Amino acid sequence: MDYIKEKAPPVREERLRACNAYGGSCGNLVEKSKKGCLNGIKRKFSQTQGCQLNLSLAIINTIRDAVVIVHGPVGCGGASLAQAGVNKGFQKLRDSNARGLIWVNTNMGENEVVQGGESRLRDAILHAEKEFRPSAIIIVNSCVPAIIGDDIDGVVEQAQKEVKAKIVPVHCEGFKTKIMASAYDAVYHGILRNLIPHEKIIQDEKTELETLQEKYRASRTVNVLNVSSMSRIDEYELVRLLKAIDLELNILPCYAHPDDFQKATEAALNVSICATHDDYFVEHLKEKYGIPFILRTIPIGVQYTNRWILDIAKFFGAEEAAQRFIDQEVKQLEEAIAPFRDIFKGKRVLIGGGEIRVVANAELLHYLGFEIIGLRAYHYDQFADEMLGEQDIIKQIPFNVATGQPFEQANLNHNLKPDLYVGHVNTNVWAAKQGIPVIPLFHQSQLFLGYTGIYEFARRLARILRNPSFNRNLKDNVHLPYFEEWYDKDAFSYIDESELQA
Amino acid sequence: MSNFIDRPRYLCTMGGAVSTLKALPRAISIIHAAAGCGGNFGNALNGAAGYLGSGYCAGQALPSSNVFERDIVFGGEERLEEQIASTLEIVDGDLYFVVTGCMVDIIGDDAVSVARRFNQQGKPVFAAETGGFKGNAYTGYDIVLSTLFRDFVEKRPVKNKKIVNLFGLVPIQDVFWKGNLNVLKDLIQKLGYKVNTFFGEGETIENLKQAGEAHLNIVVSDVYGVKSAKIFEEVHGVPYIVANLPIGPAGTKEFLETVGKALGVDELLISTVIAEEKARYYSYVERLADVYNDLDFQRYSVVVADANYAPALTRFIADDLGWLPELVVITDLLSEDEEKLVAKKFTTFSSGVIPKVVFDTDTSNVSKHFNKAWPRNNNNRYFNAFSPAFVFGSSLDREFSDSLGAAHLSVSYPISNRVVLDRAYLGYSGSLRLIEDVIGLLVGSR
């Protein structure tokens, strides 16, 4: 893969033939995905979702010592208003001096739509430099400058000569794609082009011993690619898992400092916890710097945590040590989980969120004793085929691919009547109003990953199930905005396959 | 005038339109825009608005045409028509309102005509062009209101002398709008009038539909809702007055007198209402006479707020609370005339306090204005410090507040560090809540 010479990456409809509209069985989905025939399905009724720009900000807003410039009308990036406070707290978990989220909006009005917004962008860059002296200035480009033809790369090239901060343009115009996850490629594209040196930096002169020590250290260092929905304690758990096989971690890209990306080229291996998040980045690092990668699974649940560790151990020839560690961990975990199993036994659950996480949670919740009755994913692509295809127990259950689309979720919940909903932020409210107990699929202050994550998740589940009165009361007192007839229809009846591209 | 903005405290025109519709009972927004616009609003109208939540049909439930590249090339009207039809099938609302985003406005989709076709078939579907580049959220509020006043409110040639409408308090942008409207309705009811506010507790879309029978429109803002009031007058022949947004006894007295006079209410009734309310207010405030004086609870203050709240709040702080507001930063995008109108309000405080007032949209400029307003300590042994201090602002102003070592209360949008339900800060009763919150912070560590 090498798109790095291009100013912008291709969108995922083109690159991965990803889809965000589907309703059918899990088995059928995997089959269709493998044949590559999911692209082009649409909806006759749709609800809002997110765009590449929103999701790009989810990563970019975490980068420390950076100023974000949203190039567009004043509302673009407005979601950051809700993030500024909590974001600072999370940055401080990595660096107590962190400044938190600072952004500037270029406030394009009618004049700029007619005359172009390039000078406004330039002013914003110079302001960001002068006012905040950040290490990086990251520009997210919105729909309007894209359609009126602002040459943001030209502006950046000129401004970079005058500005010390590294300027990173990110081409994430919302209207270009329906697959919100294209954002990951857009952000990594900007990072690869602007924060990672094109050639290896020549180090100062070092003694032979120092060079050897550094080489050894690099040979035992892996880049672990985090996601913005992870917590700091999730990261500590991953550090613990890989320390067991004597590895050092360089954690990127979320909450990293712009300079940390330089180090990314020195690691022995890139490890992803979410293939659909990272494939663009690791493929390019392999292509350009020869760094191999592992992009297979997410360390959620016993089966996938074991696999995640073993895949990495295999690369370093440490399988035996890893297996010993795993056996010990699993044994201890089993004992710890045992008291909860009766509470979970036979309870029916519907899971919604990012594809990889949802499929891994199906395995985890099955392990804990739940019956999985439906899955929903924000989008679907080839990266979930292995994990979804191998879970025989869920082959026949419905899989709904939908970025949000709470009307389909409400229909499924109404008709399947789960005892628990495990869901993505902003989807949980709708299940709650249907009276269903809810546990968030992720939470930026809670532990989900690795073996301790399984225990903590189980502990929280038992707590939430113990008294779901809050949601039960909601059901009796508030209504979802859909006509009763909607619940009599098939949940997928507004999904239109007529223009399916084979 | 306009430039880039360091952390703007409002969404775009469409964001303001969607938030206005979100606050209107059983009104359904249909977004004709790219897929992310609504999703972006979702967080700004929940987590940044005192945890308002997704509402009846907002958040991720917002119907949206989600047009993308192909629709932008070939035009999105067909997709919009499909979306309106399917929304009417699935979503249960009393009123459907199509709002448009930048892209479809730029390519010239005629959403208003598409909506009109549904309207002509008897469906309550309305539309306005609300492309984000037209202005900020306040612009969106006025566009939605004036469209509804023109197209939805029924013509009533015969007026009811006992009914008034009240607007200008921008829902969500005033995070306390719902509680505040309760207070204002209650005050005017005491003068003997029924009040439609369209967004208030217990109101339905019928209150809006019947609003044409009102005798007077009361706009509680110098700048917001005024355009809509003019259109209302043009279409329905209802005159309007601008009344001050009242916080505390001083401001509320003026409000009641202004409104009472415009409605021709008996002066004795007005003064009785004022006297009763004030007596109640002081029966509570009297309790603080001890602690205020024992612990010296006078504070220097900075106010960072919008054009509606800043004058009302500052007046309360100066004239009722007896504090010293030294600097006021108004963060809205205003025209020069509007700035003059708003600035005038700070020159007539009965306490004689005259704060420095600046108009600046940029968050990081607040501290610069402060440095100009109050000298720095250049290592002087004796220094008249800005201390003790209190900052009234949004959650974005905490950092500035920390830099002063001041206490901070979020009262203006965005508010992400408080939960707001039916709390009100207006009138006599609301200012008691404000005092509880403010003095509550001062005793919080005891």
Cβ neighbours for A421, distance < 8 A, ≥ 6 positions apart:
A349, A350, A351, A352, A413, A428, A431, A436, A437, A438, A439
pLDDT in tens, chain B (446 residues): 459 999 999 999 999 999 999 999 999 999 999 999 999 999 999 999 999 999 999 999 999 999 999 899 999 999 999 999 999 999 999 999 999 999 999 999 999 999 999 999 999 999 999 999 999 999 999 999 999 999 999 999 999 999 999 999 999 999 999 999 999 999 999 999 999 999 999 999 999 999 999 999 999 999 999 999 999 999 999 999 999 999 999 999 999 999 999 999 999 999 999 999 999 999 999 999 999 999 999 999 999 999 999 999 999 999 999 999 999 999 999 999 999 999 999 999 999 999 999 999 999 999 999 999 999 888 899 999 999 999 999 999 999 999 999 999 999 999 999 999 999 999 999 999 999 999 999 999 88
Mean pLDDT of A143-158: 97
Chain A residues with CB-CB distance to B101 below 8 A: 143
SS3 B238: coil
CATH class of the structural domain A50-194? alpha beta
Cα–Cα distance measured from residue A484 to residue B92, given in angstroms and rounded to the nearest whole number: 9
Provide ipTM, 2 decimals.
Answer: 0.96
Of A44, A48, A143, the CB nearest to B38: A48
Nearest-neighbour CA in chain B from A226: distance (Å) = 23
Q: Is A482 on the interface with B (CB under 8 A)?
A: yes
3-state secondary structure of A492: coil
Q: Give the count of alpha carbons within 13 A of B23, CB side only.
A: 30
Cα B65 to Cα A47: distance, rounded to the nearest angstrom:
7
The closest alpha carbon to A350, from A368, A376, A328, A327, belongs to A376
Given an 8 Å threshold on Cβ–Cβ distance, is A483 in contact with B395?
A: no
d(CA A399, CA B201): 41
The phi and psi torsions of A501 (rounded to 5 degrees) equal: -95, 115
Residue from B2, B4, B106 whose CB has the most chain A CBs within 10 Å, to mutate: B4
- Give bridge partners of residue B218 from the DSSP assignment: B166, B241
B287–chain A nearest CA distance, Å: 35
Q: Does A470 lie at the interface with B, CB-CB under 8 angstroms? A: no
Supply the pLDDT for residue B377: 86
CATH number of B297-415: 3.40.50.1980
Task: Work out the average pLDDT over A50-64.
Answer: 96
Chain A, 398 to 437: residues with Cβ < 8 Å from chain B are 403-407, 426-427, 429-430
Residue A104, min C-alpha distance to chain B (Å): 4
At a CB cut-off of 8 Å and minimum separation 6, what does B229 contact?
A: B167, B168, B217, B219, B240
- Using the 8-state DSSP alphabet, how is residue A10 labeled? P
Q: Tell me, which fold does domain A208-332 have in CATH? A: Rossmann fold (3.40.50)
Q: Which two tokens stand for residue A228?
A: 């913005």
Structure tokens that stand for B428 in this block: 């006599």
Distance between terminal CA atoms of chain A?
24
**Contact with chain B for residue A186, Cβ under 8 A:** no
pLDDT classification of A197: cutoffs 50, 70, 90: confident
What string of H, E and C letters represents the secondary structure of chain B?
A: CCCCEECCCCCEHHHHHHHHHHHCCCEEEEEECCHHHHHHHHHHCCCCECCCCCCCCCHHHCEECCCCHHHHHHCCHHHHHHHHHHHHHHECCCEEEEEECHHHHHHCCCHHHHHHHHHHCCCCEEEECCCHHHCEHHHHHHHHHHHHHHHCCCCCCCCCCCEEEEECCCECCECCHHHHHHHHHHHHHHCCCEEECCCCCCCCHHHHHCHHHCCEEEECCCCCCHHHHHHHHHHHCCCEEECCCCEHHHHHHHHHHHHHHHHCCCHHHHHHHHHHHHHHHHHHHHHHHHHHHHCCCCCEEEEEECCCHHHHHHHHHHHHCCCEEEEEEECCCCCHHHHHHHHHHHHCCCCCCCCEEEECCCCCHHHHHHHHHCCCCCCCCCCCCCCCEEEEECHHHHHHHHHHCCEEEECCCCECCCCCCCCCCCHHHHHHHHHHHHHHHHHCCC
What is the reported pLDDT for A464? 98
Rounded CA gap, B331 and A21, in Å? 42
A86 touches chain B (CB under 8 A): yes
Torsion of CA B228, B230, B236, B242, to 10 degrees: 90
d(CA B6, CA B365): 9
Tally: H helices and E strands in chain B: 18, 13
Q: Which residue of A has its CA nearest to B364?
A: A131
| CB within 8 Å: B106 and A427 | no
* Annotation: CATH topology of A338-496: Rossmann fold (3.40.50)
Q: Characterize the bridge pairing of strands A42-43 and A495-496.
A: antiparallel
Write out pLDDT tens, residues A71-125: 999 999 999 999 988 999 999 999 999 999 999 999 999 999 999 999 999 999 9
Asked whether residue A200 carries a pLDDT value surpassing 70, the answer given is: no
| Residue A39 confidence (pLDDT) | 78
pLDDT band of residue A199 (cuts 50, 70, 90) is low
The pLDDT value recorded for residue A501 is 58
Q: What is the pLDDT of residue B234?
A: 98
Confidence at residue A41, expressed as pLDDT on a 0 to 100 scale: 85
A9 vs A190, A253, A264, CA distance in Å? 9, 18, 20
Which residues of chain B does A482 touch, with a Cβ-Cβ cutoff of 8 Å? Answer: 90-92
pLDDT for A245-297, tens place per residue? Answer: 999 999 999 999 999 999 899 999 999 999 999 999 999 999 999 999 999 99
Of B130, B50, B121, B57, give the one whose Cα is nearest residue B411: B50
A407 contacts on B by Cβ (under 8 Å): 61, 90-91
CATH superfamily of B13-151: Nitrogenase molybdenum iron protein domain (3.40.50.1980)
Q: Which residues are paired to B171 by β-bridges?
A: B174
Query: pLDDT tens digits, residue range A335-374?
Result: 999 999 999 999 999 999 999 999 999 999 999 999 999 9
Query: Which CATH class for the B163-265 domain?
Result: alpha beta
- Please list the residue range(s) of chain A that carry CATH number 3.40.50.1980: 50-194, 208-332, 338-496
Which class for B327: exposed (0-12), middle (13-18), buried (19 or more C-beta within 10 A)? Answer: buried
CB B431 within 8 A of CB B320: yes
Identical topology for domains B13-151 and B297-415:
yes
Chain A residues in contact with B135 by the CB 8 A cut-off are: 74, 109
Amino acid making up residue B425: Y
Chain A residues 15-74 with a CB less than 8 Å from chain B: 43-54, 69, 72-74
What does the CA dihedral A282, A284, A285, A288 come to, rounded to 10 degrees? Answer: 160
**Distance, CA of B254 to CA of B11 (rounded, Å):** 32
| Closest to B328 measured CA to CA, from B320, A105, B349 | B349
| Closest-approach residue (CA) in chain A for B85 | A45
Average confidence (pLDDT) over A473-500: 94
Residue in chain A lying closest to B66 (CA): A48
Chain B residues with CB-CB distance to A76 below 8 A: 12, 40, 132
CB contacts, 8 Å: B91 with chain A? 407, 481-483
A412: tokens are: 């499924």
Q: What is the predicted pLDDT for the residue at A206?
A: 79
For tokens 């500052």, the residue is B314
pLDDT tens readout for residues A446-466: 999 999 999 999 999 999 999
- Predicted pLDDT at A372: 98
Q: Decide: B416 and B395 in contact? Cβ < 8 Å.
A: yes
Sheet holding A269-272, edge to edge: A248-252, A221-225, A269-272, A293-294
Confidence of residue A499 (pLDDT cuts 50, 70, 90): confident
Per-residue pLDDT, A213 = 87
Q: Which residues, in sequence order, are bridge partners of residue A371?
A: A348
Does the beta-carbon distance from A144 to B62 stay under 8 Å? no
Residue B362, SS3 per DSSP: coil
Q: Report the residue of chain B nearest A427, measured CA to CA.
A: B60
Contact B35 A403 (CB under 8 A): yes
Is A75 within 8 Å of B57 when comparing Cβ atoms?
A: no
- d(C-alpha A313, C-alpha A36), whole Å: 32
Furthest-apart CA atoms within chain A: distance in Å:
77
**Is the Cβ pair A45, B89 closer than 8 Å?**
yes
Question: What is the Cα–Cα distance from B197 to B207, expressed in whole angstroms?
Answer: 8
- What confidence score (pLDDT) does residue B333 get? 94
- Contacts B37 to A, Cβ<8 Å: 48, 51, 75, 174
H or E element, residue A74: none
Chain B residue numbers touching A51 (CB-CB < 8 A): 34-37, 39-40
Q: CB–CB of B36 and A51 under 8 A?
A: yes
Give the phi and the psi of residue B34 in degrees, each rounded to 5: -65, 160
**Which residue ranges make up each domain of chain B?**
13-151, 163-265, 297-415
| Cα Rg of chain B (Å, integer) | 23
Structure letter (DSSP) for residue A265: G
According to the model, what pLDDT value does residue B1 have?
40
